Structure 1
Amino acid sequence: MRVAIVHYWLVSMRGGEKVVEALCDMYPEADIFTLVCDHDKISNKLRGHRIFTSFLQRIPGAKKRYQSMLPLMPFALEAFDLSGYDLILSSESGPAKGIIPPPQAVHICYCHSPMRYIWDHYHLYRCNAGFVARMMMPLVAPLMRAWDANSSLRVDHFVANSHHVASRIAKYYRRSSVVLHPPVAVAEFAPVASVDDFYLCAGQIVPYKRVDLAVRTFTKLKRNLVVVGDGDSQDIAALKRIAGPTIRFTGPVSFTELKDYLARCRALIFPGEEDFGIVPVEAMASGRPVIAYGRGGALDTIVPGHTGVLFKEQTVESLTDSIELFETMEHSFYPELIQLHAAQFSVANFKAGMKRIIDQALSERHTVVDVKPYATSLAPVFEGVSHAPLH
């Protein structure tokens, strides 16, 4: 069986790329198709596969400015020749599902999210875009929405990474999906004997993750907050302007340093609405509770009162209330139980779930629809009808 894995772009190693790695483990001979690839930024495991890139790869600066090439992506994806492949696994957060599958192939889309920047987060992205992008988005977005919805019909089976994403697939594509949480390397994290007096906010610093809400709240409360992660220099500068003396920015850190911060923090602060949210699972795998905005993927991963606390509104007042509630019950969170809860999001469980889904889809491909009963039922209708020649 020839297998193709289609991923939107390979320019870093984040959650989406970890899914691709797991799929590569399942299909060591699979070929990878992607719009743009920076071979220096991906793992040896991915480099060990044949990687086919689109014509966007040949455009100068594509490895850094690929997102600005959104209007060209449908043309680039549809130019991929997938003839001869039996199974196509698309990893979707950009427009990866938009390839043209051959008739005999089964196309399964693992959807991290319908494209946020043309659907539910469109106005947020436009508000934070530069002048040229802000002017162009109203012209490009309607065309991309039409293509995105139409290309969803090329998928045989959708797999959503959370119930939040499943609801958006149903809303924007009018398609059903199976929920399978993404793989998290939970075994690489562990609790420590004692924690320090700081809270942690970790991840990429972009506006929709609402790091500003955490900074404002902890500045007001005069409690220690460590902000780990990188982002646009202007976004970081804006955060530093509103931060008080109890806020510390580390910038990007190594994986070893991140594990240390996760294990030693009092709790992880997760103020944004995420499709799934891998960092909260990593924090729980480290035995630490999570204080999160109670929407999106956090509802799939956090058990209020047992592995964390959820707050209802993205306001300083609501987050403050949840922090104060957490501190009254901090002693009732048990690291070993929190870690045990996180174990269900393992790489092994993801692979087992994908195998079940793929096996079922492949078995359905060979089901032959028997039209004979229908043809037989029409026979009496045509009895006595002469077959006159056509003129």
Structure 2
Amino acid sequence: MNSPKVAIVHDYLVQYGGAETTLEYICDIFPNAPVYTSVYNPKNLSEKLNKKHIITPKMESLFNLLPKHLTFLMPIVFENFDLSEFDIIISSGTAYAKSVLTKPNQLHIAYVHTPPRFLYGYSVESTNRNKWYYKPVVSYLDHYLKIWDYVVAQRPNFILTNSYNTKKRIEKFYNRDAKVIYPPIKLDNNISSKKDPLIEPYYFMHGRLSAYKNFDFVISAFNLLDIPLVISGTGSEESRLKKMAGKNITFLGRTSEKQKNTYFNNCLGFIFPVVEEDFGMVVVEAMSHGKPVLAHKSGGVKEIMRENTDGLFFENLSLDEFIGKVKIFDEKIRRNEFNPEEIKKQTLKFDEKNFISEFKNFVYEKWEAHNA
């Protein structure tokens, strides 16, 4: 039997986050597969993704002008991609990629990072949807999109997802089963967890500076605590966050992998305040350096961390409660109550090698069965 011809479909390529990291690994597994997407901005992506053969719709320029306002047109884009020459279609994303149209002889496997957060009441990147002048239109469009989202979620032959947390959402909103394959994390078992003694102790945060990541909440707390905090990343909230931050808070902007790893390695601990995160790849990264994490007790993070072994949880976005938890966290760290080697061991099940092996085996097993 000839090798199947594979196409990859991704929601959009305008930022570099966990979904795009996972996409890179899928591309590595299928190096000859083109990537179909709605919008492509090479400035915000990795060199590896920019080397791929990326196919966009003719109307891409329109989406580049007003991407957030044209959400309701996305279904048209993906349903009009002609994928008839391919045997296997792998879609990757949260909302639109899974909607591509396929034929009975084709195999469609969707890696769903989460059902669209904006449709099902989870906090999202932008706060614009909550503005009074948007709400009437948004409410109407969301009603249509929710129906459409359920219908197209029935199209893939199989669904994969990133956590048991997201698996429950898929069962709830789509009435579909999903197999969990944890997203790939590049772990370096030779990383030292020893800090540079010449560097002033600090806590670390890394990620897109967007509304639902709750950087503002942590900044408010650290302003009052006057404890050094270093923040890595860029995003739509960057300007606002910088204005509210005290002198004890440092913004690094975009960092390279080497720079990020240096800051992970030298921090006291990692702060992760996101509520109902789909998985939490950055938490695994922090732990791979032997660093304890203070995280909101929700979402996929509960599958990653063991309380009092890998860090601590807090349950409410209450400033007083959080400040109290930071003080306890800080005290435990300074007393060496967290074992870096035990924390590192917990991350081994998330190693990139596991993702590559499980994903590849799943796709080819299903393809073989599809043609039996």
Decide whether the 8 Å contact of 1:307 with 1:338 is kept in 2: yes
Per-residue CA deviations over 1:338-368 (Å, capped at 9, x if unaligned) read 223223222211111112322332243235x
TM-score between the two structures when normalised by the length of structure 1: 0.85
- Which has the higher mean CA deviation after the structures are superposed, 99-108 or 188-197? 188-197
Partner of 2:266: 264
In the superposition, relative to structure 1, how do residues 358 and 95 fare at CA in structure 2: closer, same or farther (>3 Å)? same
Matched, 1:118 2:119: yes
Partner of 1:28: 31
- Which has the higher mean CA deviation after the structures are superposed, 15-24 or 2-11? 15-24
Partner of 1:191: 192
TM-score between the two structures when normalised by the length of structure 2: 0.89
Mapped to 2, the partners of 1:188 and 1:257 lie a distance apart of 18
Per-residue CA deviations over 1:2-25 (Å, capped at 9, x if unaligned) read 111110112233221222221121
Partner of 2:352: 347
Partner of 1:179: 180
In the superposition, relative to structure 1, how do residues 295 and 72 fare at CA in structure 2: closer, same or farther (>3 Å)? same
Mapped to 2, the partners of 1:254 and 1:202 lie a distance apart of 12
Partner of 2:83: 82
Deviation at residue 192 of structure 1 after TM alignment: 4.4
In the superposition, relative to structure 1, how do residues 2 and 212 fare at CA in structure 2: closer, same or farther (>3 Å)? same
Percent identity, aligned pairs only, is 29
2:320 aligns to what SS in structure 1? helix
In the superposition, relative to structure 1, how do residues 238 and 31 fare at CA in structure 2: closer, same or farther (>3 Å)? closer
1:22 aligns to what SS in structure 2? helix
Deviation at residue 81 of structure 1 after TM alignment: 0.9
Partner of 1:281: 284
* Alignment partner of 2:14 out of 5, 11, 14: 11
Tell me the amino acid that sits aligned with residue 104 of structure 1. Answer: N
Partner of 1:71: 72
In the superposition, relative to structure 1, how do residues 170 and 30 fare at CA in structure 2: closer, same or farther (>3 Å)? same
Matched, 1:146 2:147: yes
Decide whether the 8 Å contact of 2:87 with 2:105 is kept in 1: yes
Alignment gaps of 5+ in structure 2: none
Deviation at residue 253 of structure 1 after TM alignment: 2.8
In the superposition, relative to structure 1, how do residues 243 and 171 fare at CA in structure 2: closer, same or farther (>3 Å)? same
* Alignment partner of 2:234 out of 230, 250, 264: 230
Q: Which runs of 4+ in 1 moved over 6 A?
A: none
Tell me the amino acid that sits aligned with residue 274 of structure 2. Answer: G
* Alignment partner of 2:300 out of 297, 302, 310: 297
Max Rg structure? 1
Decide whether the 8 Å contact of 2:37 with 2:56 is kept in 1: yes
Partner of 2:107: 106
In the superposition, relative to structure 1, how do residues 41 and 127 fare at CA in structure 2: closer, same or farther (>3 Å)? closer
Per-residue CA deviations over 1:54-112 (Å, capped at 9, x if unaligned) read 233132xx346423321110000000111132211100223110100121111111111
Decide whether the 8 Å contact of 1:201 with 1:214 is kept in 2: no
Tell me the amino acid that sits aligned with residue 22 of structure 2. Answer: V
Mapped to 2, the partners of 1:342 and 1:37 lie a distance apart of 32
* Alignment partner of 1:245 out of 244, 247, 268: 247
Decide whether the 8 Å contact of 1:166 with 1:177 is kept in 2: yes
Mapped to 1, the partners of 2:253 and 2:61 lie a distance apart of 32
Mapped to 1, the partners of 2:213 and 2:41 lie a distance apart of 25
- Which has the higher mean CA deviation after the structures are superposed, 113-122 or 126-135? 126-135
| Structure with the higher helix share, 1 or 2 | 1
Mapped to 2, the partners of 1:272 and 1:225 lie a distance apart of 17
Deviation at residue 132 of structure 1 after TM alignment: 5.3
Residue correspondence of structure 1 range 208-219 to structure 2 within 5 A: 208-219=212-223
Partner of 2:361: 356
In the superposition, relative to structure 1, how do residues 49 and 206 fare at CA in structure 2: closer, same or farther (>3 Å)? closer
Tell me the amino acid that sits aligned with residue 267 of structure 2. Answer: C
Mapped to 2, the partners of 1:51 and 1:183 lie a distance apart of 22
In the superposition, relative to structure 1, how do residues 29 and 251 fare at CA in structure 2: closer, same or farther (>3 Å)? closer
1:88 aligns to what SS in structure 2? strand
Decide whether the 8 Å contact of 2:162 with 2:181 is kept in 1: yes
Alignment gaps of 5+ in structure 1: 368-391
In the superposition, relative to structure 1, how do residues 309 and 173 fare at CA in structure 2: closer, same or farther (>3 Å)? same
- Which has the higher mean CA deviation after the structures are superposed, 50-59 or 127-136? 127-136
In the superposition, relative to structure 1, how do residues 236 and 39 fare at CA in structure 2: closer, same or farther (>3 Å)? closer
In the superposition, relative to structure 1, how do residues 243 and 58 fare at CA in structure 2: closer, same or farther (>3 Å)? closer
Tell me the amino acid that sits aligned with residue 160 of structure 1. Answer: T
